[in-house]
């Protein structure tokens, strides 16, 4: 596995399985999402998108927690600099959504504030049984306005409002039941289970994964039949792609498909 170290993150790439792994690497700061870390993360996601060598990206944290959110020393700054910080975070969330790859959050310890936002913004999430989640800004006089956007779209209005207005932790079990994470596993199995999840997805055509991700997020806020009309157009056009033809032919011929991408 190829490994590259930045100042604030570590990048590993499994070329055989086509899985990329990004580790938030500020364990001494509970992986706080500083401006510099967010910049490295954004630029790396852009690079992964352009190179198209990986089909799945895993984001995890070094040390005892996934991420405690923004570095409060940077939030206690001039408003212009604070806006710059939050806009950089916006760019990271957009890079996750815009990537053709499926992005999986691998969560241990705690994911709070913007760290919880990062989990919610990822396409999928796997958490260990002891993980805790919160958007606790209200406790320090600053409602978690940006984190609640993605959290509310994952868990629904009432539950997201409860998380934001009380600032209390929810458990991994609650996070699973509410829809914030997809799977909950014992801590000792977290790494293996997340990789196996990623490996399954990475066995499919990147062309199909990219088309499916783009279609899914575009239709999610449409009305039922507007979404169905759009989906009909997408699947009809995509049926002519090389990988779609290969996949259907391989199924009919009872063999494994050989993807172009």
Q: Which residue has 């990004």 as its token pair?
A: 22
213: how many CB neighbours lie within 10 A of its CB? 18
pLDDT given for residue 3 in this prediction: 59
Q: What is the pLDDT of residue 238?
A: 87
The CATH architecture to which 206-252 belongs is Orthogonal Bundle (1.10)
Residues of the chain within CATH 1.10.12 domain(s) are 206-252
Beta bridge partners of 110: 132
Positions of CATH 3.90.226.10 in the chain: 2-202
Whole-number pLDDT of residue 67: 98
Tokens describing residue 149 = 């956007």
The CATH code for residues 2-202 is 3.90.226.10
The pLDDT assigned to 2 comes to: 56
Pairing type for strands 183-185 and 124-128 reads: parallel
103's enclosing H/E stretch is strand 102-107
- Could you tell me the CA-to-CA distances from 155 to 38, 53, 57, 166, 243 in Å, in that order? 25, 32, 23, 15, 34
Determine the pLDDT at residue 149. 97
| Residue 18 DSSP symbol | T
Tens of each residue's pLDDT in the chain, 261 residues:
555 679 999 999 999 999 999 999 999 999 999 999 999 999 999 999 999 999 999 999 999 999 999 999 999 888 999 999 999 999 999 999 999 999 999 999 999 999 999 999 999 999 999 999 999 999 999 999 999 999 999 999 999 999 999 999 999 999 999 999 999 999 999 999 999 999 999 999 999 999 999 999 999 989 999 999 999 999 999 898 999 999 999 999 999 999 987
Tell me if 108 sits within 8 A of 68, measured CB to CB: no
pLDDT at 181: 98
Residue 175 tokens read as 């996070």
Quote the pLDDT of residue 260. 85
Residue 220 has phi, psi (to 5 degrees) of -60, -30
């Amino acid at each position: 596995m190829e490994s590259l170290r930045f100042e604030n993150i570590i990048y590993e790439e499994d070329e055989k399985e086509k899985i990329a792994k990004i580790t938030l690497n500020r364990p001494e700061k509970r992986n706080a999402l500083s401006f510099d870390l967010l910049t490295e993360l954004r630029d790396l996601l852009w690079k992964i998108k352009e190179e198209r060598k990986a089909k799945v990206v895993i984001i995890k944290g070094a040390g005892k927690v996934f991420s405690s959110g923004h570095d409060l020393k940077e939030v206690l700054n001039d408003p212009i600099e604070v806006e710059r910080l939050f806009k950089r975070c916006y760019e990271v969330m957009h890079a996750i959504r815009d990537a053709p790859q499926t992005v999986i959050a691998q969560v241990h310890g705690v994911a709070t504030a913007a760290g919880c936002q990062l989990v919610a913004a990822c396409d999928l999430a796997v958490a260990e049984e002891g993980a805790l989640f919160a958007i606790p800004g209200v406790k320090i006089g600053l409602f978690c306005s940006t984190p609640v956007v993605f959290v509310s779209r994952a868990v629904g209005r009432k539950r997201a409002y409860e998380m934001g207005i009380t600032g209390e932790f929810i458990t991994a079990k609650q996070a699973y039941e509410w829809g914030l994470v997809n799977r909950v596993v014992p801590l000792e199995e977290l790494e293996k289970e997340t990789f196996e999840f990623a490996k399954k997805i990475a066995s499919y055509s990147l062309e199909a994964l990219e088309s499916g991700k783009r279609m899914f997020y575009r239709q999610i806020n449409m009305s039922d039949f507007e979404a169905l009309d759009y989906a009909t157009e997408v699947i009809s056009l995509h049926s002519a792609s090389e990988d779609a033809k290969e996949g259907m032919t391989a199924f009919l011929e009872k063999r494994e498909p050989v993807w172009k991408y």
